[in-house]
Chains A and B, each alone.
Chain A
Amino acid sequence: MMDVKQQLEQVKQEATKAVAGVTTLVELADVKAKYLGRKGTLNGLMRLMKDIPDAEKPAFGKAVNDVKQFVSGKVEETRHAIEQAIIDAKLAKERIDVTLPGKQFTVGTRHIMTQIVEEIEDLLIGMGYQVMEGPEVETDENNFEKLNLPKDHPARDMQDTFYITEDTLLRTHTSPVQVRTMLANGGNKPIKIICPGKVYRRDDDDATHSHQFMQIEGLVVDETTSMADLKGTLLAIANQVFGEGRDIRLRPSFFPFTEPSVEVDVSCHNCNGSGCNICKGTGWIEILGAGMVHNNVLEASGYDSTKYRGFAFGIGVERLAMLKYGINDIRDFYTNDMRFNRQFRKR
């Protein structure tokens, strides 16, 4: 019995050593077969069972099985280690330089003027306005006469016009859209609209003048509309475009279609009103023209001016963008230098 036990211990040590010396899965399989295979060493030892007294047989069987399990555990341990080493080697080969640049996908940018128009549209839509559009080739009647600008009115000098025929022209403002809306409404419905669009003036193009530009006009007509409402609305726009905390100032001015007419200044977003080069030291920046709709305009489009009144405002989109982003040349909006356009990725 002693003999057998020693033999068993010897096999265990031999097998352990053999497994430890293995480096590949093939060698491991050989070693496994040698000790644990059907004709392996341990099964051979099991055959000695018949020579063992019956009383010791269970103990002997257990001892052999313990060694089998031990060796098998060692084999599995080693298999795992070898497999891990293989994976590690493979992964090591697949290592890349993660700092090299990735594939370039481009997300395009919307034009800065589109962005500003949409920003103002969204603000005013939230306040209940509808967005109205109209043709750029307009009649003299819609562009001027119905806006209290009869032929030979000196104020026509304020807007040099591209005429197409005696009676048709490139609209000089988006106000004709207001006229069209009032006429379509038949003179008895409140109106709350904004009209964005391209407009044209006979100007030589330079850093501050453009023969084509983008305008957003607003019009509210109702029985209770007041100049205070105009002020409140304009402040909301100023805060949207230039950031919260703006102040606005109305100065007397003149447009044939409004009375009173005002120029609207916003407190400078750059210096907060203390004076800088953007506001030329005044603390204020002129951003738009506005006023209460002239009774002649209401009447010309079918609204009873003793019952209805309204306010209107007109924003130059390029001017807002120039002030907001420090753009010095209005032509930049139409040159479409990609180094310019692509700066305005997300407002």
Chain B
Amino acid sequence: MKVSMNHLREFVKTDINVLDLAELFNTHSAEVEDAYELVQASKLVVGYVKEKTSHPDADKLSICQVDVGGQTSQIVCGAPNVAAGQKVIVSLPGAILPGGFEIKKADIRGVESNGMICSLAELGLDKKFVNADGIHVITEDCEPGDDPLDVLRLNDQVMALDLTPNRADLLSVMGVAYDTAAILDLPIHLKQPEIQEIDEPCPVAIRLDTKHCMSYYARVLKDVEIKPSPRWMQSRLIAAGMRPINNVVDITNYVLLETGQPLHAFDYDLLDSDTISVRLAKDGETIQTLDEQTRKLTKDDIVITNDKEAVALGGVMGGFSTEINDNTKRILLESAVFNPINIRKTSSRLDLRSEASMRFERKVDPARTILALERATELFQKYAGGTVYKGVSKVDNIDYTEPSVELKLDYLNGYLGSNLTAEEVSDVLRRLHLEHQLEEETFTVLLPTRRQDMEGVQDVIEEIGRIVGYDTLPLTLPDTVSVGGLTAFQRFQRHLRDVMTGLGLTEVITYSLVPEHRARDFSLDTAEYTKVLMPMTKDKSTLTLSPLVGMVDVLTYNTARKMSDLAIFEVGKRYDQNETITLAGALTGTLSSTLWNGKEEVVDFYLVKGLIESLLDNLYLDHMTYEPAEIKNLHPGQGAFITSRQGRVGFLGKLHPEYAKEHDLKDVFVFELNVGKLFELRRVQKKVKDINKFPDVERDIAVVVDEDVLAGDLLAAVNKAGKRMLIQSEIFDVYRGESLGEHKKSIAIKLIFSDPKKTLETKDVDTRVNEILGTLKATFKAELR
């Protein structure tokens, strides 16, 4: 809502600067987007073109001798419409026009020019609102040297409000005036319209066939003369961002701006009926609206009819068939109230948002319906030569009772944290023009119809709070005593991040929405995913079933920018039914290197597995097993499920070369771990273990087994056979060679034995090693090498 300060000042007499008022509105009323002079130009005068001659060297230029008040200036002008005898707007040398454009004395193709003759667009008025073809010719009475902005009523400032949906009252100059009066503690000046009626009664009857039109008022005028509206009205419309059209349209728009009540004027003769009836449209019914579009309607739309067919889309836009035109003589002026929900449905379905629909959607003040009708009628009489039939035709089903709200002083002060007295509160309510009574520190406040947003006691508190000023409230902290903290699961997730970063991985956060065809990239083909109904783009249509989908894109993005060593993780979600929290990682290139001496740790399966093992070890979860598995989009020979005794907790593996290639990647290793499961399985150290005082005994064994024997299985068997005495076992060599025979490999294992109660004797250890070897032989046909 753009507010003309000239318009506002008719209701509140103040000379406050628009910038100061804007600042006050920001802190007490509503956000001000912008506040500015309507025309930001200096050194403008009215000029009288005494003589015009052609430029000797340029066809399109004229040389004008212009009386600029007390002296005659020669000005070269390029506008085709400039002519002797015109009064024009002249910017003199030294003038600054919008955009910082400075006017200087100049030589234009050999002819001296002392200024510029301006169009309204050159003064910074939007081209949509003014005739931009050529210079502006002043028709008003004035003398050369006068200020043209005064003559054209363009000496105005604009306050542009960025309104929230609740403050529908501020969609009118009157509403802004109420707030201005309250903030500045000034009186508000409201005038009653004056109308002279003829004896002949208003010829139209109103009938409401739907409850969604709550009131309908109409007047009919005759002998109307269609012509431009007065200059001051045009200028105020321009300031408010509306294009002047003709006096009838301009008056309805002007009164809309003033009161917030949308009006519509029909050509009464084209209406061709003495009855206006309002009903819901029939499904499939059509109407041609003012913008000449044919609209197909539904039964949610409200139509105004001439009792035969729809002539306007109620509350949204007038109809083309009854539009005001140059020959209009009689007009029917409508002022009505429609159900906001219907208006909202209609305007959003048809994508037709008008000044009217915007206001009806947010609720208008029903008490201004009649005021707006009378105000417009008054202006028609004055500026359109209208004669007014006697009386107003109307149907009104609105209950105008103003609800009241009780507010106790101590509740108010407790709510705001303020320390206001009853007198102070009463004074604020007076400034806001909120009628109230005070009895034993309890206020009974009437909620006025102009504030349709106010419903309860909190609304009254807000009004008081904002006018007193939130800056006057003290700064305190809640009395509520409570124990704060993270849950164990939240702490666990933070811990995962600490371990991951400690291991050298960098955290990423990726989008949850991915292309539909990629949602299951790391899930079963049968997994159910969730798609949004109306995605913005196909690329972001479906909730991912693994953070890895987005992480692969992160690798691709960075690799394309010559960052080839990448180690990233995300604590994200699989967006399944449970929104399973998952820790995912993706690595490629080298994890660390010292280039100058040729040492580098290239990321491979075992490096990534080592990272996971380090994490699991940190969580006391070192009993996981790794089962070889063919996992979707992973290398068939380099993938594994990570499993605990209670089931699967995740997977790791190398991206399938084909999949990697599709994403412009090479050797990429990924993993995913179910955070909830890790949390359930995790163990915590409850009591310290004594450090063993007796020495360990170390033995190395090497066994030859078939190639397809898995090291993990071998180790598991070793650990089982080693019983408690075996405290550690570690593979330190895997060897293949001709001497072993085909499809054979040797696995060397370091065994560490210990007993917390005594020093182990050689024979005890030998016996246990033999038992281990016996088990390996029995299970894997392992031969001691």
Q: Which residues of A contact B (CB under 8 A)?
A: 100-111, 113-114, 118, 121, 124-131, 133, 135-137, 152, 154-155, 157-158, 162-165, 170, 190, 192, 198, 200, 202-205, 211-212, 214, 220, 222, 224-229, 231-233, 235-236, 249-254, 259-263, 292, 294-295, 309, 333-339, 341-342
CB contacts (< 8 Å) of A107 on chain B: these are: 501-502, 504
CB contacts (< 8 Å) of A137 on chain B: these are: 530, 543, 575, 579
Minimal beta-carbon separation of B379 from chain A (angstroms): 30
In the complex, are the beta carbons of B535 and A190 less than 8 A apart?
A: no
In the complex, are the beta carbons of B511 and A212 less than 8 A apart?
A: yes
> What is the CA–CA distance of A107 and B596 in the complex, to the nearest angstrom?
21
> What is the CA–CA distance of A128 and B483 in the complex, to the nearest angstrom?
5
In the complex, are the beta carbons of B592 and A103 less than 8 A apart?
A: yes
Minimal beta-carbon separation of B572 from chain A (angstroms): 9
> What is the CA–CA distance of A224 and B48 in the complex, to the nearest angstrom?
72
8 smallest CB-CB distances across A and B, nearest first, come from A228-B417, A254-B164, A226-B417, A260-B462, A108-B501, A250-B470, A106-B504, A259-B458
Within 8 A of A (CB), among B512-537: 512-513, 530-536
- Does B99 have its Cβ within 8 Å of any Cβ on chain A? no
CB contacts (< 8 Å) of B457 on chain A: these are: 295
- Does B60 have its Cβ within 8 Å of any Cβ on chain A? no
CB contacts (< 8 Å) of B482 on chain A: these are: 128-130, 190, 192
- Take A125-B486, A260-B458 as given contacts and tell me if A226 and B414 are in contact as well, using a CB distance cutoff of 8 Å: yes
Flag B631-669 by CB within 8 Å of A: 1 or 0 each.
000000000000000000000000000000000000000
In the complex, are the beta carbons of A227 and B465 less than 8 A apart?
A: yes
> What is the CA–CA distance of A48 and B465 in the complex, to the nearest angstrom?
122
- Take A108-B567, A295-B458, A337-B561 as given contacts and tell me if A225 and B478 are in contact as well, using a CB distance cutoff of 8 Å: yes
- Take A224-B414, A263-B31 as given contacts and tell me if A229 and B478 are in contact as well, using a CB distance cutoff of 8 Å: yes
Within 8 A of A (CB), among B413-443: 414-418
Minimal beta-carbon separation of B446 from chain A (angstroms): 19
- Take A106-B592, A192-B482, A222-B478 as given contacts and tell me if A227 and B415 are in contact as well, using a CB distance cutoff of 8 Å: yes
9-residue interface stretch from B21-29, B120-128, B386-394, B754-762: B21-29
- Does B466 have its Cβ within 8 Å of any Cβ on chain A? yes
How many interface residues does B have (CB within 8 Å)?
Answer: 90
> What is the CA–CA distance of A334 and B539 in the complex, to the nearest angstrom?
14
Residue of A nearest to B166 (CB): A254
Contact of B509 among A113, A118, A135, A170 (CB under 8 A): A113
- Does B474 have its Cβ within 8 Å of any Cβ on chain A? yes
Minimal beta-carbon separation of A66 from chain B (angstroms): 52
> What is the CA–CA distance of A3 and B500 in the complex, to the nearest angstrom?
88
> What is the CA–CA distance of A339 and B341 in the complex, to the nearest angstrom?
50
Within 8 A of A (CB), among B756-778: none
> What is the CA–CA distance of A220 and B341 in the complex, to the nearest angstrom?
33
CB contacts (< 8 Å) of B478 on chain A: these are: 192, 220, 222, 224-225, 229, 233
In the complex, are the beta carbons of B543 and A250 less than 8 A apart?
A: no
> What is the CA–CA distance of A107 and B568 in the complex, to the nearest angstrom?
11
> What is the CA–CA distance of A342 and B84 in the complex, to the nearest angstrom?
71
Within 8 A of A (CB), among B327-377: 340-341, 344-345, 361-362
Minimal beta-carbon separation of B405 from chain A (angstroms): 12
CB contacts (< 8 Å) of B573 on chain A: these are: 136
In the complex, are the beta carbons of A338 and B26 less than 8 A apart?
A: no
Contact of A108 among B418, B465, B504, B563 (CB under 8 A): B504
24 contacts between A and B (CB under 8 A): A103-B592, A108-B569, A114-B497, A127-B484, A128-B483, A130-B483, A130-B487, A135-B579, A137-B575, A152-B341, A154-B165, A211-B540, A214-B509, A222-B479, A224-B414, A226-B476, A229-B477, A233-B477, A259-B462, A261-B164, A262-B470, A292-B461, A337-B558, A339-B563
Flag B451-479 by CB within 8 Å of A: 1 or 0 each.
00000111101100110001101111111
In the complex, are the beta carbons of A227 and B543 less than 8 A apart?
A: no
> What is the CA–CA distance of A130 and B485 in the complex, to the nearest angstrom?
5
In the complex, are the beta carbons of A232 and B476 less than 8 A apart?
A: yes
In the complex, are the beta carbons of A252 and B475 less than 8 A apart?
A: no
Q: Which residues of B contact A (CB under 8 A)?
A: 26-31, 164-167, 340-341, 344-345, 361-362, 414-418, 456-459, 461-462, 465-466, 470-471, 473-487, 490, 494, 497, 500-513, 530-536, 540, 543, 554, 557-558, 561, 563, 566-569, 573, 575, 579, 591-594, 596, 599
Q: Other CB < 8 Å A-B pairs besides A105-B504, A225-B480, 5 of them?
A: A125-B484, A137-B575, A231-B475, A252-B27, A336-B554
In the complex, are the beta carbons of A108 and B475 less than 8 A apart?
A: no
Minimal beta-carbon separation of A192 from chain B (angstroms): 5
CB contacts (< 8 Å) of B477 on chain A: these are: 127, 229, 232-233, 236
> What is the CA–CA distance of A118 and B501 in the complex, to the nearest angstrom?
15
Contact of B566 among A100, A135, A250, A338 (CB under 8 A): A338
In the complex, are the beta carbons of A110 and B579 less than 8 A apart?
A: no
> What is the CA–CA distance of A36 and B164 in the complex, to the nearest angstrom?
109
> What is the CA–CA distance of A263 and B167 in the complex, to the nearest angstrom?
15
CB contacts (< 8 Å) of A102 on chain B: these are: 594
Minimal beta-carbon separation of B467 from chain A (angstroms): 10
Residue of B nearest to A103 (CB): B594
Residue from A164, A214, A231, A333 having most chain B Cβ neighbours under 10 A: A231
CB contacts (< 8 Å) of B485 on chain A: these are: 125, 130-131
Residue of B nearest to A168 (CB): B530
Residue from A107, A198, A226, A250 having most chain B Cβ neighbours under 10 A: A226
> What is the CA–CA distance of A200 and B543 in the complex, to the nearest angstrom?
12
- Take A125-B485, A165-B533, A224-B479 as given contacts and tell me if A110 and B540 are in contact as well, using a CB distance cutoff of 8 Å: no
CB contacts (< 8 Å) of A127 on chain B: these are: 477, 484
Residue of B nearest to A335 (CB): B557
In the complex, are the beta carbons of B511 and A254 less than 8 A apart?
A: no
In the complex, are the beta carbons of B532 and A163 less than 8 A apart?
A: yes
In the complex, are the beta carbons of A211 and B536 less than 8 A apart?
A: yes
> What is the CA–CA distance of A5 and B605 in the complex, to the nearest angstrom?
84
Minimal beta-carbon separation of A273 from chain B (angstroms): 14
In the complex, are the beta carbons of A121 and B486 less than 8 A apart?
A: yes
In the complex, are the beta carbons of B536 and A202 less than 8 A apart?
A: yes
> What is the CA–CA distance of A280 and B415 in the complex, to the nearest angstrom?
34
In the complex, are the beta carbons of A338 and B558 less than 8 A apart?
A: yes
CB contacts (< 8 Å) of A136 on chain B: these are: 512, 573, 575, 579
> What is the CA–CA distance of A263 and B477 in the complex, to the nearest angstrom?
19
CB contacts (< 8 Å) of B476 on chain A: these are: 226, 228-229, 231-232
In the complex, are the beta carbons of A211 and B513 less than 8 A apart?
A: yes
In the complex, are the beta carbons of B501 and A109 less than 8 A apart?
A: yes
> What is the CA–CA distance of A261 and B458 in the complex, to the nearest angstrom?
10
Residue from A226, A236, A252 having most chain B Cβ neighbours under 10 A: A252
In the complex, are the beta carbons of A252 and B466 less than 8 A apart?
A: yes
In the complex, are the beta carbons of B27 and A249 less than 8 A apart?
A: yes
In the complex, are the beta carbons of B530 and A164 less than 8 A apart?
A: yes
CB contacts (< 8 Å) of B27 on chain A: these are: 249, 251-252
Minimal beta-carbon separation of B273 from chain A (angstroms): 33
In the complex, are the beta carbons of B165 and A157 less than 8 A apart?
A: yes
CB contacts (< 8 Å) of B536 on chain A: these are: 202-205, 211
Residue of B nearest to A170 (CB): B532
Contact of B31 among A113, A212, A251, A292 (CB under 8 A): A251
- Take A107-B501, A198-B512 as given contacts and tell me if A252 and B29 are in contact as well, using a CB distance cutoff of 8 Å: yes
In the complex, are the beta carbons of A104 and B594 less than 8 A apart?
A: yes
> What is the CA–CA distance of A134 and B715 in the complex, to the nearest angstrom?
43
> What is the CA–CA distance of A259 and B461 in the complex, to the nearest angstrom?
8
> What is the CA–CA distance of A127 and B477 in the complex, to the nearest angstrom?
9
> What is the CA–CA distance of A4 and B413 in the complex, to the nearest angstrom?
120
> What is the CA–CA distance of A124 and B599 in the complex, to the nearest angstrom?
46
CB contacts (< 8 Å) of B502 on chain A: these are: 107-108
CB contacts (< 8 Å) of A158 on chain B: these are: 165
Minimal beta-carbon separation of A330 from chain B (angstroms): 12
CB contacts (< 8 Å) of B475 on chain A: these are: 228, 231-232, 235
> What is the CA–CA distance of A334 and B513 in the complex, to the nearest angstrom?
12
Minimal beta-carbon separation of A128 from chain B (angstroms): 4
In the complex, are the beta carbons of B165 and A101 less than 8 A apart?
A: no
> What is the CA–CA distance of A126 and B27 in the complex, to the nearest angstrom?
31
Residue from B480, B482, B563 having most chain A Cβ neighbours under 10 A: B480
